Copies of this chain bind each other. A is one copy, B any other.
Amino acid sequence: MDQIEFVRDFNRFYTQRLGVLNDHYLGQGRPLGEARLLFEIGDGADLRELRTRLGLDSGYLSRLLRALGGEGLVTVRPHPSDGRVRIASLTGAGRRERADLESRSRDSVAALLDPLTDGQRERLLEAQAQIRRLVRLATVTVEAVPDDAPEARECLEAYAGELARRFPEGYDAAAALIPPGALTEGTFLVAREDGRPVGCGLWQGASGLAASESAAAGAAALRSSAEIRHLWVSPAVRGIGLGRRLLAALERDAAAHGVTTVRLGTHGSLTEAIALYRAAGYREVPSYDSSPYNQLAFVKELVL
């Protein structure tokens, strides 16, 4: 595939150019590990936290701190209430060194932007923003989990909290959210970025539909109809297209389980969600249940 070669080539090009810039401006005698540490210490941080944030071995961190301490850039003092924990903080010289690194890094970028016109700079930033959105979207993982998994409940809690803030009438989570363990026929998907849950959604088969409908429908209809619920995307990753990806993943998963028609209800105030459903090929139908939160209803026929 040609696209792959293009992306590889871009990666080589960009890292090489970046490397040249960094070597030129930044590589002024300070090893990378020490430089990262100077940034992360900030205005004081305990070693345990530094270790996890930078992913360092405790021995290695200890040695790095000793080296920086020997140069008079960092001091380490015990935690006031926990004698095991130690806290690192920058001295005046350390802050100056950090500011120096910072300004060298800024200079290298300023030198890059300098020859460009205002319009070219804007286009560069817009292209970078575009790549960021797409690469974030591409590296988010989507995975099925039990509906009572901790990540699932964490997402639903955030989802409910947000709806409670957005709906003028509030949101009654106890009544409207799917209870843990209730999803017997269907799939709960969780989206993760760097391991942290940042979105969710579920489809629920016939057994979870309103009693009147499941009674009216035959066995075939039971298998072929499902409802998508609780589609949520964390504000931290909104705007990168994750809602669309989750929705498509739910549809694929449902279709693989024999579902041919999905429906969903939503609130009139969730305009982005409504736009998403329309763009994804859903058509509006009369509302199918009496929940005050499902003011609008949409249906889509799945094609395998």
Interface residues of A (CB under 8 A from B): 1, 3-8, 10-11, 13-15, 17-18, 105-106, 109-110, 112-116, 120-121, 123-125, 127-132, 134-135, 137-140, 142, 241, 245
Contact = CB atoms under 8 A, between A and B. Distances in A.
Contacts of A109: 4, 7-8, 11
B134 A116 contact: yes
14 contacts: A4-B110, A7-B109, A7-B125, A10-B128, A10-B129, A11-B109, A13-B132, A14-B131, A14-B132, A14-B135, A114-B138, A116-B137, A127-B130, A128-B131
B6 A128 contact: yes
A6 B125 contact: yes
Contact of A18 (B15, B17, B106, B123): B15
B4 A113 contact: yes
Given A13-B132, A120-B137, A131-B14, A113 B7 contact: yes
Given A8-B106, A110-B1, A138 B115 contact: yes
Contacts of A135: 13-14, 17, 112, 124
A134 B124 contact: yes
Nearest to A110: B4
A293 to B, nearest CB: 30
A131 B124 contact: yes
Nearest to A120: B134
A195 to B, nearest CB: 12
* 3 nearest A-B pairs in the assembled complex, by CB-CB distance: A127-B130, A127-B127, A10-B128
Given A18-B11, A106-B4, A132-B13, A113 B138 contact: yes
A136 to B, nearest CB: 8
Given A8-B109, A125-B3, A17 B134 contact: no
Contacts of A131: 10, 14, 124, 127-128, 131
A120 B138 CA distance: 10
Contacts of A18: 11, 15
Contacts of A115: 137-138, 140, 142, 245
A1 B106 CA distance: 9
A10 B128 CA distance: 7
A100 to B, nearest CB: 15
A42 to B, nearest CB: 15
Contacts of A241: 120
A242 to B, nearest CB: 10
A246 to B, nearest CB: 11
Contacts of A106: 4-5, 8
Nearest to A8: B109
A138 B198 CA distance: 37
Given A8-B105, A10-B132, A124-B135, 4 more contacts: A1-B110, A7-B113, A112-B138, A124-B130
